[in-house]
Amino acid sequence: MEISDSQLETAIRNADAAGRIEDVQSLSREYNRRQKEKVINEDESINDNELETAIRNADKAGRTEDVQALAVQYNRRKEASQQDKSLVEEAAYLADDFANQFNLSIANIAGAPVDLISFGLNKISNAIIDEDIVSPNAFGSSSSIKSALA
C-alpha cells in the first residue's frame, strides 16, 4: 500500500520525536526522492537529452536514488511517446483502410451494370461458341475501375 506524502511527513515527525534517527533518515530519503520525481514530472521543459545527462551525472556522483527517480521519469516519457506513435499509426491505418473500402465500394457500384451485361453476354456466348466474348477487365467494369483507382 502506497502512503501519501502527508502521511510520510507525519511519519518523519513521529520518528524524529521518538528519537529514531535511522527511521528519520530512510523516510527522509523516500520523501526527497518523491519530491524530485514530482519536480521532474511537472517540469516538461527538461527534454530527453537533458534528462539523460542528469541521469549520467547522478550516476557518476553515486546518487542512486536520484538515478532511479530520473530513470523512472525517462521510462515514462519513452512509454508515453511510444503510445502516441502507435495511436497515430493506428489512426493512419484506419483512415487508409476506410479510404480503400470506400474506393472499392464506389468501383463495385459504378461497375455493376457493365459487370452484369458482361456476365450475361458471356453466358450466352459460352452456350453458343463455348468462349467468353467480353473480357473480365472490360472498360467500365468494376475491375477496370479498381485498377484505375489503385
Quote the strand ranges of the chain, DSSP E: none
Give the domain extent around 13: 1-43
CA atoms of 18 and 144, how far apart (whole Å): 87
Q: Are residues 64 and 126 in the same domain?
A: yes
Q: Are residues 59 and 35 in the same domain?
A: no
DSSP label at 89? H
Q: Are residues 57 and 122 in the same domain?
A: yes
81 or 118, higher pLDDT: 118
DSSP label at 46? S
pTM of the model: 0.40
DSSP label at 130? S
Number of structural domains found in the chain: 2
Q: Which three cell numbers stand for residue 34?
A: 518523491
What is the crossing angle of helices 21-42 and 64-128, to 10°?
Answer: 40
CA atoms of 50 and 79, how far apart (whole Å): 18
Q: Are residues 75 and 3 in the same domain?
A: no
CA atoms of 28 and 61, how far apart (whole Å): 19
Q: Are residues 75 and 117 in the same domain?
A: yes
21-32: average pLDDT = 84
Q: Are residues 33 and 70 in the same domain?
A: no
Q: Are residues 39 and 101 in the same domain?
A: no
63-73: average pLDDT = 79
What is the Cα 29 distance to its own chain's centre?
35
Q: Are residues 6 and 74 in the same domain?
A: no
pLDDT at 50 exceeding the cut of 80: no
Q: Are residues 68 and 36 in the same domain?
A: no
